[in-house]
Amino acid sequence: MPVAHDSQSVLHILQQHVPQPSADYAHQLWLQSPFQLKLTRSRQTKVGDFSCKSNSAHLQITLNHDLNPYLFLLTYVHEVAHLRVFLAHGRRAEAHGAEWKDSFKVLLQPMLQESIFPYQILHELRRHMENPKASSFADIGLTVALRAHDKNSQSIALLSSIPTGSIFKLQGRYFKKGQLRRTRVVCMEMKSKRNYLVPMEIPLQRRGTSGMRLTQSSLNKLTYHFKKCVRRKGTPTLNL
Ligand SMILES: [Zn+2]
């Protein structure tokens, strides 16, 4: 997986991953406060992160290599905002506190235009940016708009979008979807009959639905397969 330390190799990565009209701006952000940019394999637990070793000499941002261009750009700016807050305040500032929200808003603002994001994402983003959350996936409208641009979007359903009572598979176990509690859904594990809280935005892979006419009763019987849990730091832990 590529690791970039210098201007040219960072630009090269950005040109391949962010929406084309945003590449120069993303590169400018790097030039203003350089860091090591590393692409990683697809991680189940996060889409990106910012880290620094002991002092501010080694700043690193990692991003999953397989994010669609809009999610890649959004995650890139999210992490650059962490870096800026770190440079200004050290570890005193809260991870997704007021400083980070301000920085994220300021840095993303020039990108909120139709030449960069498709209308549906832009619409959701403008709403989301009024009070950005630690995880953009905690915002269901934004998640759906972003996910629509994933290569395999046809086979992905979110837990929030399947009917209550549906059976789905998660980490090798079968669960029945129950009631929503704030942002998490009470789900019963079929074998043990125990309840667990599962984030409602978790993506599930649809199985055996191609060509099927979906009625309410067939939907209730459908089995969904867990695809991958894309979480960011700060989102509630999956209690499994
Ligand atoms: Zn964050």
State pLDDT tens for residues 108-124. Answer: 999 999 999 999 999 99
Q: How sure is the predictor about 43, in pLDDT bands with cuts at 50, 70 and 90? A: confident
**pLDDT band for position 155 (50/70/90)?**
low
Q: How far is the CA of 48 from the centre of ligand 1 (A)?
A: 8
Residue 34: C-alpha distances to residues 30, 46, 194 (Å): 5, 22, 48
What's the chain's average pLDDT? 81
The CA 22 to ligand 1 mean position distance, Å, reads: 21
In this prediction the pTM is 0.69
Q: What letter would DSSP give residue 43?
A: P
**Residues contacting 180, CB < 8 A, separation 6+:** 160, 186, 200
- Identify the CATH class of 154-226: mainly beta
User: What are the sequence ranges of the domains in the chain?
Assistant: 3-134, 154-226
Residue 176 CA, ligand 1 centroid: distance in Å: 31
Please state the length of the chain: 240
Å from CA of 122 to ligand 1 middle:
20
pLDDT tens digits, residue range 173-182? 888 999 988 8
Q: How confident is the model at residue 234 (pLDDT cuts 50, 70, 90)?
A: very low
At 166 the pLDDT is 85
* Phi-psi region at 41: left, alpha or beta (left = phi > 0; alpha = psi -120 to 50): beta
Å from CA of 120 to ligand 1 middle: 23
Q: State residue 7's pLDDT score.
A: 97
Those residues with Cβ within 8 angstroms of residue 24's Cβ, 6 or more apart along the chain or in another chain = none
- Asked if the 3-134 domain carries CATH number 2.60.40, the reply is no
